[in-house]
Amino acid sequence: MTIRSSLFGAVAAALLLTAGASGARAQDAHAQPRPHRMSWSFAGPFGMYDPAQLQRGFKVFKEVCAACHSANYLYFRNLAQEGGPHFTEAQAKQVASEYQITDGPNDAGDMFQRPGRLSDHWPAPFPNDNAARAANGGALPPDFSVLAKARSYHVGFPGFITDAFIQYQEHGVDYIHALLTGYEDAPAGVHLQPGLNYNVYFPGHQIAMPKPLSDGQVDYTDGSPQTVDQYSQDVAAFMMWVAEPHLDQRKRIGFQVMIFLIVLGGLLYFTKKKVWSNVAH
Amino acid sequence: MSMRLPCCVRPVAGGFRGRRLRDVHRDDNIIGDCAVAHTETSDTTTRRDFLYIATGAVGAVGAAAMAWPFISQLQPDASVLALSTTEVDLSPIAEGQIVTVQWRGKPIFISHRTPAEIKSAVDTPLSDLKDPQPDSARVKTGKEQWLVVIGICTHLGCVPLGHQGQYNGWFCPCHGSVYDTSGRIRQGPAPLNLELPPYAFTTDTKIVIG
Amino acid sequence: MEGHSTYQPKGKVAQWFESRLPIVGLIHSSAIAYPVPKNLNYMWTFGAILSFMLVCQIVSGVVLAMHYVAYAPVSFARVEHIMRDVNYGWLIRYIHANGASMFFIAVYIHIFRGMYYGSYKAPREVLWILGVIIYLLMMATAFMGYVLPWGQMSFWGATVITNLFSAIPWVGTTIVEWLWGGYSVGDPTLNRFFSLHYLLPFMIAGVVGLHIWALHHVGQNNPDGVDIKNVAKDSVPFTPYATIKDIFAMVVFLIFFSWFIFYIPNYLGHSDNYIPANPLSTPAHIVPEWYFLPFYAILRSIPDKLGGVLAMFAAIAVLAFLPWLDTSKVRSAKYRPLFRQFFWVFAVVAVLLGYMGSQPAEGGALIISRILTAYYFIHFLVILPLLGLFERPKPVPASIADAVLAKAKGGAVVVAGAAGPETK
Ligand code: HEM
Ligand code: FES
């Protein structure tokens, strides 16, 4: 008994120490506030993209972000595919034809420009990374293709465990929304490096991207508020779709699979019981 | 396909299973199905068999459904499907010239036919053909000078050579199939005429294949 | 084993074939008639689950390899091509990426099951060591697989792990450059890792074959840790008893697996691996996949390069010596009250080590890691040898049938003579 209780005492002490140590660390790591959890239409087991929101987000991307950011794995054809912004094929073709794509070489050996087609990917604003850096004060605007899955924030214990149960996967879009709405004047005493801007949510707070969005900047035709907050949510949702274009299908199939497995599991449970019913075990 | 229980009422060949259960039954005073089983009605048998059949059937359906994604992934993917149209400018192609372009990874022959070639194709009686088809069915009305065919021999898939063979159409070097100026099979082992791709004129001198 | 040669083919053709290649008899004896202790609990279904996961990884991996290209400038894009364009490519990739984690969850349960019930003890030492080899091969396979998508974590994980070998005195640098095929992790490294990642699972399958052979030769251990004495009384035939139980457990495991595939497919991965590999910039906080974290914590807890690497490898190697480090004659923790306590302490320590491995190695966290690392080794090298000498085990049942009977009656165990002689 004594051994037992002292062992458990030791384990409890170790647990406390561990929690304490990580808690102390957590405090200084969190000088940067944790992004707010927004209510995303695509969160949770039945969450799906809202095509209207994706269309608005696409507009923000096209008119604002795409001036500096590429989206190399986004193809014009994707705009008309299932589970996306639900543009018609004609609309997607129209968007594509607004862009000039470099093709070639032709029979004379020259590269040439032609209007975009559905099979083209979204044209990058700069011919290469160095050109992009040169035009942006030395900083490279990251590609949008999987950016919403490439960003996250520290959740810590026990939040990271509960997230697995509530199926929370929207850390990337939370962060993007927070970043886009997180521009502020640098607090007194903070020395901003030349060319950098103060952002509450950016790691280190000094970000090369100037505040990209302001109220009223992009015209919405569906009556949604034309605010930085709304723009940020919409473009973040759009980026999530660009990063995970099959989310709707995934969750739909997932639901069918779950139901199927539960039924099969139930049948197997009774079969197993029946098979074992004549054996003591 | 019901799963059969090795039970004492149903001794199983091989001894071991039946023996084991009898022993368990006798020595361990286990009250289980076996005791009941001696007086088992056909009703309980049916219910049990139903459970086994239902479980097996649901499992089989699941296994089949699971196989689908693994089969489907072999089909052309979305990026391949998106490349399925090719646009061709015909203006640089001189009369009497055949050019080859690519569509879906296949060679497409575009033949700018001379009046003599058109005439020989039109004048051929259908009775001379292995795969009878009039020339008019192989070209667009008013554009008879343009023959657009898939450049794959209908025998076993080689690419025939242009302006060769007895009919001055195509000759396949692999096993000697001969096609005429309309791309119709005339001699050799190939069974069918050269296939026509779907295409349309967008202007007088431009076509879109696919 | 009894029951092994009872198979008699019925048809003439079957008899002709069987007398030339007795494969149906082999299947019959190992998957149908094979006697299974009747007191096994659900911890014993993880062997079947592991076999299933190996097949699942091989099937999904072979399909991924049909679309993947191991070439540094395009590998990241190819994985995204699988995710976006290939029919159900997202599903197959999420099955494979999460499948690796499920494989490790199952193997850890399997290993801890063996440690709890003393499954490594005579005559199962070789069986156990084959298991440790499978575990090592799995780690190598998963590590190299994680490099293939060529994201930031792929690249820097490969850099850090291959650099472990640079700790070897004198020849370290040469060995590392030989592993890389260059002066840093690069395209040659990616290519050889792909080749080996394709090969190793089949070697695992081979060792699994040996593992099962050894198992069927010595027979399964069971929660009471007593051998089958009377096949008729103590065991049930594999089919249908174990088969149906394994399939049921597998489906329950699949529900768990599907939760990850369909709803939180990126939960176990790291967001930095969605950033293409950049040899010029290391992510702020690099961590290996969760299944390596305890060993990673051990590596970092030693303030010496060579020492850290040796400790890490020793932490795995010590498992192979477990059959000789545990001096107790009694197998199952069920009859070893003290060992049972220490087992759970060890399990908690292992989990905590994993947690510490995920935290930045600094300040208090480092000190805790060191204490936990020390305990990890003390458990194997001090506690287990001594426990066998000083612990007084509870009386062990004479047979499985007795144990089952006792359980049914809810009463005390049928005593197999005096308890004393069971201890050394
Ligand atoms: C023991 C079995 C196996 C394990 C534990 C394993 C593990 C892994 C892991 C952890 C990854 C990285 C997943 C990611 O984050 O993207 C991966 C990727 C990959 N594996 Fe395997 N694997 C196994 C078997 C195989 C086999 C047999 C093949 C067949 C060639 C294969 C082909 C691939 C390919 C092509 C990738 C890269 C695509 C991707 O990242 O999703 N794997 N594997
Ligand atoms: S493939 Fe053309 S003749 Fe055989």
Which residue is closest in CA terms to ligand 2's atom 3?
A: B175
Looking at the complex, does the CB of residue B49 fall below 8 Å from at least one CB of chain C?
Answer: no
Segment A157-178 mean pLDDT: 95
Q: How far is CA A278 from CA A274, A281, B3, B24, B32, in A?
A: 8, 10, 15, 9, 4
- Whether the per-residue pLDDT at A164 is higher than 60: the answer is yes
Q: CATH number, domain at A207?
A: 1.10.760.10
Asked whether residue A13 is assigned to any structural domain, the reply reads no
Q: How confident is the model at residue C357 (pLDDT cuts 50, 70, 90)?
A: very high
Q: Does B46 or C309 have the greater pLDDT score?
A: C309
- Rounded to the nearest angstrom, the minimum Cα separation between A51 and chain B is 21
Residues 6+ away with beta carbon under 8 Å from C351: none
What's the complex ipTM? 0.91
Asked whether residue A17 is assigned to any structural domain, the reply reads no
Segment A41-52 mean pLDDT: 97
pLDDT score recorded for residue B43: 67
Does the distance separating the beta carbons of B83 and A271 come in below 8 Å?
Answer: no
Q: Give SS3 for C414.
A: coil
Q: Could you report the per-residue pLDDT of B142-157, keeping only the tens digit for each? A: 999 999 999 999 999 9
Q: Is the CB of B186 under 6 A from ligand 2?
A: no
Looking at the complex, does the CB of residue C66 fall below 8 Å from at least one CB of chain B?
Answer: yes
Segment C106-125 mean pLDDT: 97
pLDDT score recorded for residue C153: 97
Q: How confident is the model at residue B24 (pLDDT cuts 50, 70, 90)?
A: very low
Looking at the complex, does the CB of residue B39 fall below 8 Å from at least one CB of chain C?
Answer: no
Segment C223-230 mean pLDDT: 94
Nearest to C38 by CA among A105, B24, B164, A137: B24
Nearest to C44 by CA among C236, C246, C240: C246
Which of B34-43, C276-285, C373-382 has the lowest average pLDDT?
A: B34-43
Distance B162 CA to ligand 2 centre (A): 14
Segment A47-68 mean pLDDT: 97
Q: How much is the pTM? A: 0.87
- Whether the per-residue pLDDT at B13 is higher than 50: the answer is no
Q: Could you report the per-residue pLDDT of A66-117, keeping only the tens digit for each? A: 999 999 999 999 999 999 999 999 999 999 999 999 988 887 899 999 899 8
Q: How many CA atoms lie within 13 Å of C419's alpha carbon, on the beta-carbon side?
A: 11
Q: Could you report the per-residue pLDDT of C387-414, keeping only the tens digit for each? A: 999 999 999 999 999 999 888 876 554 4
Q: How confident is the model at residue B32 (pLDDT cuts 50, 70, 90)?
A: very low
Which residue is closest in CA terms to ligand 1's atom 27?
A: C58
- Whether the per-residue pLDDT at B19 is higher than 50: the answer is no
Does the distance separating the beta carbons of C355 and A3 come in below 8 Å?
Answer: no
pLDDT score recorded for residue C5: 55
Which residue is closest in CA terms to ligand 2's atom 4?
A: B175
Q: Which residue out of A48, A272, A273, A279 would a mutagenesis test of the C interface target, given it has the greatest number of C Cβ atoms within 10 Å?
A: A272
The domain of A87 spans 36-276
Q: How confident is the model at residue B22 (pLDDT cuts 50, 70, 90)?
A: very low
Mean pLDDT for chain B? Answer: 82
Alpha helices in C87-242 (DSSP H): 89-116, 125-147, 152-163, 172-180, 187-218, 231-234
Segment B56-77 mean pLDDT: 94
pLDDT score recorded for residue B36: 38
Q: Does C208 or A114 have the greater pLDDT score?
A: C208
Q: Is the CB of C98 under 6 A from ligand 1?
A: no
CATH number belonging to domain B80-209? 2.102.10.10
Q: How confident is the model at residue A13 (pLDDT cuts 50, 70, 90)?
A: low
Distance CA A198, CA B20 (A): 78
Q: Is the CB of B188 under 6 A from ligand 2?
A: yes
In angstroms, how far is the first alpha carbon of chain A from the final one?
Answer: 31
- Whether the per-residue pLDDT at B123 is higher than 50: the answer is yes
Distance CA B99, CA B112 (A): 9
Q: Is the CB of B178 under 6 A from ligand 2?
A: no
- Rounded to the nearest angstrom, the minimum Cα separation between A41 and chain B is 26
- Whether the per-residue pLDDT at C372 is higher than 90: the answer is yes
Looking at the complex, does the CB of residue A108 fall below 8 Å from at least one CB of chain B?
Answer: no
Distance CA C286, CA C291 (A): 14
Q: How confident is the model at residue C77 (pLDDT cuts 50, 70, 90)?
A: very high
What total of structural domains would you count in chain A? 1
- Whether the per-residue pLDDT at B61 is higher than 90: the answer is yes
Task: Please give the positions of B annotated as active site.
Answer: 175
Subunits close to A (at least 3 CB pairs below 8 A):
B, C
Distance B74 CA to ligand 2 centre (A): 27
Q: Does B47 or C74 have the greater pLDDT score?
A: C74
Go through the domains of chain C in sequence order and give each one's CATH number. 34-288 (1.20.810.10)
